[in-house]
Amino acid sequence: MLHIESLDDGLELFKALGSEVRVEIIKQLLTNKGMNMNELASKLNITNGALTNHMKKLEACGLVTISNESLGHGNQKICSVHVDKILIDIDSEKENVNVYNTELKVGHYSDYKVFPTCGLASAKAIIGEVDDTRYFSHPSRYEADILWFTKGYVEYDIPNFIPAGQKITQLMISAELSSEAPGVNNNWPSDISFSLNEKHIGTWTSPGDFGDVQGIFTPDWWFPNWNQYGLLKLIVINQFGTYIDGLKISDITINDFNLDNSSDMKFKFSVDDDAENIGGLTIFGKNFGNYAQDIKISISYAPL
């Protein structure tokens, strides 16, 4: 998901989409699950030079990616669509006013219960041994930039440093997520649930454990048949309900928690035993996947 936080920030995106040719490029890439530059130029009946100019505009605003692949006749540039959704905040006047922002590294969970297949890794190496749950307690887990498990949960303490005498009016959590298959499988659904202070707030079904191309930020030493990237998901709890990428997933509101400046907040990602699709969970940090971020948290507040 591409999150545009203001209309001004979206100007380059709007310009890129203001071309019928570039919209058709995106449609062709989606239909064909990616194409090389020659195929795409031929399909659109335009020159390679013209296509290159269009692709530069689409790549600059994060809509597509271009990667080099070595084939029998040399290198080819493979184009693919980089995002599955675009979320645009039209009214940005209220943002950054009475908002506390922070990030949590993937390995900074406060509690866990996980089942193999599972593991953790920093940007430089695997932490301990894969499929050995003991390493989720290893001191090096604080350096983890990726973790994965088949079922169970990880829970994070959300830092609460809003000023005294304030109540929390909205909680936003952004993280790059995918399923966890043996190896990789782009068609591997998993019901990933979210909880705040032990209250279930909603579930999102991840479509797969993606391994078709290397993640943009995934290290070169990472194994090619392991989790490469996820989808960026934005979870919002406000006075109207709980949303993921702007779609309502439950009627649980922020008022159900009565949160203020002295409140503890524990947020849990889980794949539950009774889920219809037990397909695991992978959480990506800033040094893995397609988004250079850890778990982002934004807390909006107002006077009590």
pLDDT tens digits for 163-186?
A: 999 999 999 999 999 999 998 999
CA atoms of 283 and 289, how far apart (whole Å): 9
Q: Enter the tokens of residue 46.
A: 């335009």
Which residues pair with residue 155 across a beta bridge? 111, 268
Q: What share of the chain is helix, strand, coil (3-state, %, to 5)?
A: 20, 40, 45
Supply the angle between the helices 48-60 and 37-44 in degrees, to the nearest 10: 110
Give the up-direction half-sphere exposure of residue 1: CA atoms within 13 A in the CB hemisphere: 19
CB 293 within 8 A of CB 299: no
82 or 45, which is more confident: 45
- Provide the pLDDT confidence category of residue 66 given band limits of 50, 70 and 90: confident
Backbone dihedral angles phi then psi of residue 224, each to the nearest 5 degrees: -65, -20
CA atoms of 158 and 156, how far apart (whole Å): 6
Arithmetic mean of pLDDT, 84-105:
77
CA atoms of 295 and 176, how far apart (whole Å): 8
Residue 79, pLDDT above cutoff 60: yes
Average pLDDT of the chain, as a whole number: 92
Return the percentage of the chain with pLDDT > 70, whole number.
96
- The CA-atom distances, in angstroms, between 212 and each of 6, 62, 185, 209, 225 are 32, 19, 8, 9, 9
Q: Given the structure tokens 């194409």, which residue do they identify? A: 35
Strands (DSSP E) along the chain, which ranges? Answer: 2-4, 35-36, 64-71, 74-81, 86-88, 99-104, 111-115, 119-121, 146-149, 151-157, 166-178, 190-196, 199-206, 231-238, 241-244, 247-250, 266-271, 281-284, 295-303
* Nearest alpha-carbon partner for 81 in 13, 15, 2, 26: 26
CATH pick for 94-303 out of 1.10.10.10, 3.50.50.60, 3.40.50.150, 2.60.120.260: 2.60.120.260
Q: Is the pTM of this model over 0.85?
A: no
pLDDT tens digits for 197-227?
A: 999 999 999 999 999 899 999 999 999 999 9
Q: Which of 85-89, 101-105, 212-216 has the highest mean pLDDT?
A: 101-105
- The CA-atom distances, in angstroms, between 95 and each of 150, 208, 243, 283 are 37, 33, 18, 27
List the CATH code of the domain at 2-85: 1.10.10.10
Q: Where are the chain's structural domains?
A: 2-85, 94-303
CA atoms of 105 and 89, how far apart (whole Å): 26
3-state secondary structure of 180: coil
pLDDT of residue 85: 75
Q: Enter the tokens of residue 97.
A: 């006013």
3-state secondary structure of 18: coil
Arithmetic mean of pLDDT, 32-39:
90
pLDDT of residue 5: 72
- The CA-atom distances, in angstroms, between 78 and each of 69, 71, 239 are 7, 11, 44
Residue 296, pLDDT above cutoff 90: yes
Arithmetic mean of pLDDT, 127-132:
97
CB 52 within 8 A of CB 77: no
